[in-house]
Amino acid sequence: MTDTPAPRHIPDRLDEPLSSAIFSWEALLVVIAIAIFIVNSFASPYFLDPWSLSDLTFNFTEKGLIALAMALLIISGEIDLSVAAIVALASTMMGMAVQVGAGTPVLVAIGIAVGLGCGAFNGLLVTRLGLPSIVVTIGTMSLFRGIAFIILGDQAYKGYPESFAFFGQGYVWWVFSFELALFLVAAVIYWFVLHRTSFGRRVFAIGNNPVACQFSGVRVDRIKFILFCLTGLMSGIASVLITSRLGSTRPSIAQGYELEAITMVVLGGVSILGGAGSILGVVLAAFIMGLVTFGLGLLNVPGIVMSIFIGLLLIIVIALPIVWRRLREGRFA
């Protein structure tokens, strides 16, 4: 969407010299995260309590899980705006299953299967019919959440079994919640897949030049289809977590999560044009967004005002390196 397509580099080199690691995007994010952490701990005496810090993680784990898969999708040059709607639909289906007496394992299976199914539907529309993903997923976003609204209307599903509450409310060890553990495990898996496997290299390659990939024997459509399925799958998992945490389902559940997940991905240094990015950046961005929201929450700043900070953070973090480079080159404006 820029006027002159800038020459693309593949930044994900296997042997990075130390200097470039210090001035990398991830380093910038770490500095920002530490700064916010210090400001928060001065601003509120409650911040440095281990349980507070543990509560903090609930702010981003669900969206972060979606953001991991979304990062791969955006690196490959596609996007999925329907993730929050998938969460709503999966949650609605789990709620329906509860009404006929399904147990916890069945509920989890349903949540994940619905997510996977919705992702596959998006993937089929994009790869089989060759449609632009941004429009397709705006459509399926209305469709998926619309189905949730048709089923639920202004009602809510409740009565989830006790054992189901573990996923969103349980703790693995001391202050480490199941959600956080799952997020960290998923982050490691996604890091490995993206940065240490040939599949990951293909994802970068597709984002940089899909046509060349096609001619090099990469099954572009199949990889994109898998990425859409993964994004749906992660949305299904996020749906299990959020439904378990809230203990009820409304059709408006997870409203606006798609934009927050995309903000995490972009803040994490993934190029919205595709072809560049790292999982470490996305994980750091997830922590930063959690820190900002939680720190401001301790100071009684309303959620809507926090969103200003998130929005400003997004634009400033993207703009700063550009302004900095231009100033150094002395050709600003």
Partner 1 sequence: MKSFLKYRELWLLAGIVVLIGLISTRFPGFADPANLRQVFNDTSILMILALGQMVVILTRSIDLSMASNLCFTGMVVAMLNAAHPAIPIPVLIVIALLIGLVLGAINGLLVWRLNIPSIVVTLGTLTIYRGATFVVSGGAWVNADQMSPDFINFQRAALLGLPVLSWIAIIVISLFFLVMTRTQIGRSIYAIGVNPTASVYAGIDVGRTKFIVFCISGMIGGLAGYLWISRYVIASVEVANGYELNIIAACVIGGISIAGGIGSVGGAVLGALFLGIISNALPVINISPFWQMAISGSAIILAVVLNARGERRQGRIILRKAEAA
Interface ranges with partner 1 (CB under 8 A): 1-5, 77, 81, 125, 129-132, 134-136, 138-147, 149-150, 152-154, 208-212, 251, 255-256, 259, 262-263, 266, 272-273, 302, 304-308, 310-312, 314-315, 318-319, 322-323, 333
Nearest approach, Cβ of residue 145 and partner 1 (Å): 6
Tokens found for residue 245: 């945490």
User: Quick one: 4 or 19, whose CB is closer to partner 1?
Assistant: 4
DSSP symbol at 242: H
Integer Rg of the chain from CA: 20
Residues in the chain: 333
- 104 vs 271, which CB is nearer to partner 1? 271
Residue 282 Cβ, how far from partner 1 at the closest point, in Å? 15
- Label residues 40-79 b or e (16+ Cβ within 10 Å = b): beeebeebeeeebbebbbbbbbbbbbbbbbbbbbbbbbbb
Tabulate helix, strand, coil % of the chain (nearest 5): 70, 0, 25
The tokens describing 112, both together, are 């994940």
Which residue, 21 or 316, is less far from partner 1 as judged by CB? 316
- Distance of closest approach, residue 241 Cβ to partner 1, in angstroms: 23
Q: Which is nearer to partner 1, 279 or 292 (CB)?
A: 292
161 vs 297, beta carbon nearer partner 1: 297
Type of residue found at 194: L
Which residue's CB is nearer to partner 1, number 52 or number 142?
142
Query: Which of 12, 38, 37, 14 has its CA nearest to residue 25?
Result: 12
Q: Using CA atoms, how far apart are residues 139 and 133, in angstroms rounded to an integer?
A: 10
Q: How far is the CB of 189 from partner 1 (least distance, A)?
A: 27
Name the residue nearer to partner 1 (CB basis): 100 or 315: 315
Could you give the C-alpha distances from 296 to 52, 182, 290, 302, 331, in angstroms and in order?
Answer: 13, 25, 10, 8, 37
Q: Provide the minimum distance between the beta carbon of 252 and partner 1 in the complex, in angstroms, as a whole number.
A: 10
Query: CB 315 → partner 1: shortest distance, Å?
Result: 4
175 or 259: CB nearest partner 1? 259
Shortest separation between residue 142's beta carbon and partner 1, angstroms: 3
Q: Are 55 and 266 in contact (CB under 8 A)?
A: no
Least Cβ distance, residue 218 to partner 1 (angstroms)? 13
Angstrom distances, CA of residue 38 to CA of 33, 91, 214, 216: 9, 37, 48, 49
